Amino acid sequence: MEVTAKIAPYTLNEEEEKKKILREYRALLRVLKAKLKPGDKVLLRRAFEMAAEAHKTMRRKSGEPYILHPLAVAKICVEEIGLGIRSTICALLHDTVEDTDVSLEDVRLEFGNEIAKIVDGLTKISTVMDSNSSQQAENFKKILLTLTDDPRVILIKLADRLHNMRTLDSMKPEKQLKVSSETIYVYAPLAHRMGLYNIKTEMEDLAMKYLEPDSFRFIAKKLQDTKRERTRYINDFIRPLKAKLEKADLNFEIYGRPKSIHSIWNKIKKKGVAFEEVYDLFAIRIIVDSSPAKEKEDCWKVYSVITDAYNPSPERLRDWLSNPKSNGYEALHTTVMGPQGKWVEVQIRTKRMNEIAEKGLAAHWKYKEGASDESRFDKWFGQIREALANEEGSSFDFLQDFKSSFLTEEIFVYTPKGDIKMLPVGATALDFAFNVHTAVGSRCIGAKVNHKLVPISYKLRSGDQIEIITSAKQKPNSEWLNIVVTSKAKTKIKDSLKEEKRKIADEGKATLQRKLEGMGAAMSTQNIEELCAFYKVNSSLDLMYEIASKKIDLKELKNFTVHGDRLVPPKPVVIKKEEPDYDPNKNLARKDTELIIFGESSDKIVYSLANCCKPIPGDDVFGFISTGEGLKIHRTNCPNAARLMANYGHRVVKTKWAKNKEISFLTGLKIVGLDDVGVIHKITNLISGEMKFNISAMTIEANDGIFEGNLKIYVHDKEELDILVERLHALPGIESVDRYDAE
């Protein structure tokens, strides 16, 4: 997979363009060849002509004719997802209803109801996902409604997003950030959940290319530099296995493939190791050609051959043959000790399993034999429908809950009778109780996991067997919301708390009514809104509840006046704030000339640096207009960046640093190394003596010959910091130097 290619400037004339469009159309027909039935070619031709005619005056940002985009999306649908003729027609027409004069009725008349319905779903999603305001959270439910209606909609949408990511180079930087963030936040997890591992991986890599360009280039170069020795190692590893597998009379393919840049980067960050220490830079894949009846037997046969040749790590065996993931993934993974003392991951699948692993849901349909095969996806769609049925609550919360409930990895656990339940990683005993039944969850006081008593907050592990203990006196409380991760449990707890809140609020309502009647004011919507604003509460329910629970004392009502039956609040008293004394350290986030903010009257914009990621000059940054706090500057790889850009893309402001050596910024460095005599002196001498940095704070802890130092220092920009990190790395005995965000 090539993800670093640049798009060349566009230079084709009209005649060449026509030839290119026809070439792409013929290429699409070639990949569809095996699926074409009599009459399909005519339908495809009509769809292609309708799309070409509708888009004929339109161009992409790269300058090329727009029709090349639907053609590319259709080809991805067929080649990489395994969809058929009807989906190809929908992919060709996916932008026509939204962007051109073609109406949904035109599509219906030409191609019938089924295709019109899918195109309508795609149009709805486009207006949701790709509108300039990027209000994804508000409209995310619409997408999921369409998804549960016809999953092909989301599969075509994923192909559309993948092609947009592949051609993102021609977009403006702020658009690249926004689209990449949406991709990493929603689309890649969705692709994973639909079983499209290759697409998920490519989306993550491409998003990283724009969100963390330095890290991306660093790992891509390292992979390139180590390619030859890696290939040699893979060949050495495979050679003895090949001979043994042939001897066992198995029909198989065996090859090594590199891990994705994004997953390598995650390992580096999670484990705090250097690139050279990430042992699984690649995986060995063995694909067996097996009859349906012998699949499991053959996979375990391959496993025994591998573990005969190399020693396995027992805790690294993953058996998804007995319990496939709910996105249909089946395989056997093991990690073995290869030559030169290196751990190597080996994945074992049959041809059918491999197709499902690469084509996901589309391949699942192809292989289904009766309803039971489809039930895992049906169950998942059913759970989504249930989550969608709950209309209350903010859409943003819904998106968060959806991600944690439906887009994460899963574990499987057992009921006391031995039935299997699938739950997301991180699920607790309380999640399990709500999964069984709302009444069981609401009365849960504890659980027995593998016959041992555990609290309701116990985090479940794959293979646990759980029995729930209930009490008629138990009822949900607000603390429970911090214990559960599944959407169903959260929704049911919130419903129960609301019901409880309403009962208490009724008492507050009676109290308020008596007070207002005593003053001669009406219990009207207008007066209630006036009181909500005065007491700074969000709703009338909150107002009544806080009156009942004595958080709001109504004695301030005597300061109100009554006109007719209307309440008029007292005038607010303005307190003049004294100017604080000047603090020299506060220049860390003052506005001078160190940032260029693009947009209207940028010279007048006041901003502050976000505390969550502490940017310094030279970092890739973006501005975010936060409510109440003005413009905040975040690093593009800030932990909150993807969420902010994906949900509030319209508030993102293009920003870059200007050179200014006058202002210092506080940042942190974590240094780990061997606790040798004089090592601390060498570090401080380099920082303060040679490089003249100001150290704000320093803590050193030594343990069993290893020291860990945390330094807070003032630097002018990232360039300076990078030089310092490089020089610290070069000191003898220093193992790692990592930046962290100093408070």
- What pLDDT, in 10s, does the model give residues 64-75? 888 899 999 999
Q: What's the per-residue H, E or C state across 243-299?
A: HHHHHCCCCEEEEEEECCHHHHHHHHHHHCCCHHHCCCCEEEEEEECCCHHHHHHHH
Give the ranges where 93-187 is alpha helix by DSSP (H).
96-99, 104-111, 113-129, 136-149, 152-166, 173-182
Distance, CA of 225 to CA of 217 (rounded, Å): 12
Residue 135 in domain: yes
**Secondary structure (3-state) at 566:** strand
For residue 551, the model assigns a pLDDT of 83
Q: What's the per-residue H, E or C state across 3-18?
A: CCCCCCCCCCCHHHHH
Residues 291 and 351 in one domain: yes
Residues 602 and 548 in one domain: no
End position of a domain, from candidates 607, 632, 657: 657
For residue 145, the model assigns a pLDDT of 62
DSSP annotation string for 639-673: TTHHHHHHH-GGGEE-EEE---SS--EEEEEEEEE
Residues 343 and 389 in one domain: no
Q: Which domain holds residue 296?
A: 225-367
End position of a domain, from candidates 623, 657, 691: 657
CATH of the domain at 167: 1.10.3210.10
Give the percent of the chain with pLDDT over 90: 10
Distance, CA of 540 to CA of 554 (rounded, Å): 15
pLDDT tens-place string over residues 133-187: 334 544 555 556 655 567 788 888 899 999 999 998 888 888 888 888 888 877 8
Residue 218 in domain: no
Structural contact between residues 385 and 325, judged by C-beta atoms closer than 8 angstroms: no
For residue 620, the model assigns a pLDDT of 80
Residues 696 and 618 in one domain: no
For residue 202, the model assigns a pLDDT of 92
pLDDT tens-place string over residues 518-561: 888 888 888 888 888 888 887 888 888 888 888 887 877 777 88
Q: Which of 24, 99, 114, 565 is catalytic?
A: 99
Residues 423 and 511 in one domain: no
For residue 301, the model assigns a pLDDT of 92
Q: And the tokens for 573?
A: 């008293």
For residue 1, the model assigns a pLDDT of 38
The alpha carbon of 720 is separated from its chain's Cα centroid by a whole number of angstroms, namely 32
For residue 373, the model assigns a pLDDT of 45
Tell me which residue has tokens 């390598």: 264
Of all helices (H) and strands (E), which one includes residue 559?
Answer: none
- Taking 70 as the pLDDT cut, the residues of the chain under it are 1-12, 124-149, 279-280, 361-408, 571-605, 627-628, 649, 658-663, 742-743
Residues 630 and 607 in one domain: yes
Tell me which residue has tokens 């629970």: 549
Residues 633 and 683 in one domain: no
Residue 139 in domain: yes
Residues 255 and 297 in one domain: yes
99 is catalytic: yes
Residues 51 and 194 in one domain: yes
CATH of the domain at 440: 3.10.20.30
Residue 5 in domain: no
Q: Please name every residue paired with 738 in a beta bridge, in sequence order, or none if there are none.
A: 670
Structural contact between residues 68 and 20, judged by C-beta atoms closer than 8 angstroms: yes
What is the amino acid identity at position 443? Answer: R
Q: Quote the number of domains for the chain.
A: 6
pLDDT tens-place string over residues 236-258: 999 999 988 888 888 899 988 88
Distance, CA of 190 to CA of 81 (rounded, Å): 14
Residue 6 in domain: no
Residue 555 in domain: yes
Residues 653 and 672 in one domain: no
Residues 6+ apart with CB under 8 A from 361: 151, 155, 194, 195, 196, 327, 328, 377
**Secondary structure (3-state) at 151:** coil
Residue 220 in domain: no
Output 718-722 pairs: Cβ under 8 A, ≥24 positions apart.
Answer: 718/616, 718/617, 718/618, 718/619, 719/618, 721/616, 721/618, 721/667, 722/618
Distances from the Cα of 262 to the Cα of 259, 275, 517, angstroms: 8, 12, 65
End position of a domain, from candidates 598, 623, 657: 657
- b/e for 337-371, b at 16 or more Cβ within 10 A? ebeeeeebbbbbbbebbbbbbbbbbbbbbeeeeee
Q: Which of 24, 40, 98, 319 is catalytic?
A: 98
Residues 673 and 651 in one domain: no
Tell me which residue has tokens 């792409």: 24
Structural contact between residues 538 and 576, judged by C-beta atoms closer than 8 angstroms: no
Residue 352 in domain: yes
Dihedral over Cα of 711, 715, 717, 721: its sign: negative
Structural contact between residues 489 and 430, judged by C-beta atoms closer than 8 angstroms: yes
Q: And the tokens for 227?
A: 């390619």
Residues 241 and 362 in one domain: yes
